[in-house]
Structure 1
Amino acid sequence: MTVTIKDIASVTGVSYSTVSKALNDSPLVKEVTKRKILEVAKEMGYEPNLAAKQLVRKKTEVVGLIWPTIERIVLATLVTNITQAFKDTRYSMILSIDPMDTAMETFRKFQVDGMIIFEDDHSKVNEEITMPFVSYGVSGKKHANHPVIDANHEASMMKAVEHLVKLGHKHIAYAGLLQTKDQLQLEKYQGYKKAMKEHSLEPFIKEVETEGLDWFDGYSAVKTLLEEQERPTAIIGGSYDISGGILRALQEQNVEVPKDISLISYDNIPQMANMEIPMTCIGVPVDVLAQEIVESVLHRIEAPEKEATVKKLAPTLVERETCGKANR
């Protein structure tokens, strides 16, 4: 049987309105009375009527997250961290991996207070969205008229190349998705080329196009690369999954890591430490990224701003066992 505010009022001997005020932590109720009411409510198993609260506040305290997939380990890890970050707030999160139009229609039905949108092309973001939202992607696009959380892929590549150059590497290859409209992936490749130029180095003669972001894509691309007469002394992998495939391909060809070829991976997630060889990685730590996304959307909900804001985050390089000094 559902316990109501009137039931609590009957047991405590106070008015219905006093119980209501106490449950809402009103300063109009004496502390001793408030404590008694809260103790009785807990003993009776009272649960607040969320629908009624939402009606009064005109808020659901729910945020919708539009995500491309949870199949890739990195994205699943980020979603998990975003969910965890919401636990420290009064908000809850619902996830949709449907196309954007379908997801937004679902969120309208749930009357969410705001949205987080993962979008590699901001031109796809509907400019008619009226609810508060932020997106995770690449900033600097003229059509981005909303808050953007940018993980700063270019700065990541700059740090990765700089780290390898300090170890004496000159023949540095980048393995990732090159022929794509995905702005997140393109910025990594462009950042790599920019970094090589700043260090007066030429991009490695053989471009390593993975044609995808999965483990097998990295594995296949690097197996092909190893058939070339000239090999790099270091490889930067474009993602956790790609780098896992690269590492296995190198091992199968009896290429010692890092003695023969050093390896750095994009994506700063805890799983990097548990690879066959603990992987040196670059990127914004996934827990930091999740916290920034959640704080930004809640700020947008609670203090709406019309103008676009961009937050470029600072990547961190974590040294482990896959990088060493150049052997030539």
Structure 2
Amino acid sequence: MKIMSVTIKDIARVAGVSYSTVSKALNNSSLVKDTTKQRIIAIANKMHYEPNYAAQKLVSKQTKIIGLIWPTIDRVVLSSLVTQINKKINQTPYSMILSVDSVQASLDRFKRFQVDGIILFEESTDTTIKHDTIPLISYGVSRDNQMNYPIIDPNHEKAMYEAVKYLIELGHHSIAYIGDFSASDPLQVTKYHGYKKAMQHFGLPLDKNHQIDTKGLDWYNGYSAGNKLLKNTNLPTAIIGGSYDISAGVIRCIKEEKLNIPQDLSIISCDNVPEMEKLEVPLTCIGVPIDHLANEIVKSMIMYIENKELEPCVKKMTPVLSERNSCAKK
């Protein structure tokens, strides 16, 4: 026996309202009272209603779907950001689909799906982006002032300036940086250059032995780089970690050497996620809070979808310092 799918007209008949009222309610329109809206949604759920996105596309010219291109499933910061973006999108009439394939393969797939907009986590300079007419917003940094889409920039250079300034105010003048120096990742390049620029701005020495390239962004990369730093006879008094995962590895290394944080070594990390507080040493960090980033990305994406004349621009976010137990006065 063939099972017929539930339509908006079926819901309207059960709810005792018009077809257009059901349509508005399911699209979260402010033109429908909240009590009516909730009653219609409850009836739709009970009837196992599933939206016909193909039909919606024909009527509204929109699928109400946003595609997100995610470069890795391994890193805590990006995982937290994706989770927050999904939560923010779920508070709107839109939904999200995720791709972890290469950038161009993801763009081609999203074009076939006819998504309304694309969010790109841009972590490589190696990909030429061809997104045609689909609105695209990037989480990343501008390169050579050449862009044809809006960019949400976490402002890592400013974050590094604030990190160095904060440590100086605590009395530290020998400050190391442990991070990924990869030239192909503009976000990591900005962190490293921001550290060097801040050190020079405050007239502090740039000791090559205190600049450790992790050659990667996972926990073990940070752990190995921390071991390399601690082999120096001239240890710094403070360390800036390039990311949550890197800093977590550095903390473990320091603890294994029987050094105390922050009495022997202070450490502050780039990035600002709630997980920093749950490390074995609650970590002071500097960066744009994840929920602020997610809110700006989603807000800008929807604005771009609904106003395709939006000019490409770089939105530099404001880093926030979150103090915990990993830094002390020298």
- TM-score w.r.t. structure 1 length? 0.89
CA-CA distance at 1:178 after TM superposition: 1.6
Partner residue, 1:45: 47
Contact map agreement 2:11 2:22 (CA 8 A) in 1: no
User: For the pair shown, which has the larger CA radius of gyration, 1 or 2?
Assistant: 1
Deviation digits for residues 227-264 of structure 1, max 9, x if unmatched?
11100000000010110110011111111110011000
Partner residue, 1:283: 287
- Give the secondary-structure state (helix, strand or coil) at the position aligned to 1:161: helix
Contact map agreement 1:8 1:19 (CA 8 A) in 2: no
CA-CA distance at 1:306 after TM superposition: 5.3
Structure 2 residue corresponding to 1:208, chosen from 208, 212, 225:
212
- Give the secondary-structure state (helix, strand or coil) at the position aligned to 2:134: coil
Contact map agreement 2:176 2:239 (CA 8 A) in 1: yes
1:118–1:4: structure 2 CA closer, same or farther, 3 Å change rule?
Answer: closer
1:297–1:44: structure 2 CA closer, same or farther, 3 Å change rule?
Answer: closer
Identity %: 45
- 2: distance between equivalents of 1:280 and 1:204? 23
Structure 2 residue corresponding to 1:314, chosen from 290, 307, 318:
318
Deviation digits for residues 90-111 of structure 1, max 9, x if unmatched?
0000000101121112112211
CA-CA distance at 1:54 after TM superposition: 2.7
CA-CA distance at 1:142 after TM superposition: 2.1
Query: Does residue 167 of the first structure (1) align with residue 170 of the second (2)?
Result: yes
- Give the secondary-structure state (helix, strand or coil) at the position aligned to 2:88: helix
Partner residue, 1:248: 252
- Give the secondary-structure state (helix, strand or coil) at the position aligned to 2:68: strand
1:209–1:41: structure 2 CA closer, same or farther, 3 Å change rule?
Answer: closer
1:38–1:194: structure 2 CA closer, same or farther, 3 Å change rule?
Answer: closer
Contact map agreement 1:123 1:143 (CA 8 A) in 2: no
CA-CA distance at 1:267 after TM superposition: 1.1
**Structural mapping, 1:113-132, within 5 Å:** 113-121=116-124, 124-127=127-130, 129-132=132-135
**Structural mapping, 1:149-298, within 5 Å:** 149-206=152-209, 207-298=211-302
Structure 1 residue corresponding to 2:115, chosen from 87, 112, 116:
112
Contact map agreement 2:285 2:323 (CA 8 A) in 1: yes
Matching residue's letter, 2:214: T
Partner residue, 1:24: 23
- 2: distance between equivalents of 1:321 and 1:266? 15
- 1: distance between equivalents of 2:130 and 2:285? 36
Matching residue's letter, 1:249: C
Matching residue's letter, 1:268: N
Query: Does residue 134 of the first structure (1) align with residue 137 of the second (2)?
Result: yes
Matching residue's letter, 1:21: S
1:4–1:324: structure 2 CA closer, same or farther, 3 Å change rule?
Answer: closer
CA-CA distance at 1:24 after TM superposition: 3.0
Unaligned runs of 5+ in 1: none
Structure 1 residue corresponding to 2:74, chosen from 71, 75, 93:
71
Query: Does residue 303 of the first structure (1) align with residue 302 of the second (2)?
Result: no
User: May I ask how many residue pairs the two structures share in their alignment?
Assistant: 318
What's the RMSD between the two structures over aligned residues? 2.7
More deviation, 74-83/40-49: 40-49
Contact map agreement 1:204 1:232 (CA 8 A) in 2: no
- 1: distance between equivalents of 2:262 and 2:126? 41
1:5–1:211: structure 2 CA closer, same or farther, 3 Å change rule?
Answer: closer
- 2: distance between equivalents of 1:233 and 1:10? 72
1:186–1:7: structure 2 CA closer, same or farther, 3 Å change rule?
Answer: closer
Deviation digits for residues 29-81 of structure 1, max 9, x if unmatched?
999xx89x959965972736423223211110000001101111111111101
More deviation, 200-209/188-197: 200-209
Deviation digits for residues 247-296 of structure 1, max 9, x if unmatched?
01111111111001100011100000000010000100011101111111
- Give the secondary-structure state (helix, strand or coil) at the position aligned to 1:63: strand
Unaligned runs of 5+ in 2: none
- 2: distance between equivalents of 1:94 and 1:39? 22
- 2: distance between equivalents of 1:167 and 1:72? 30
Contact map agreement 1:119 1:125 (CA 8 A) in 2: no
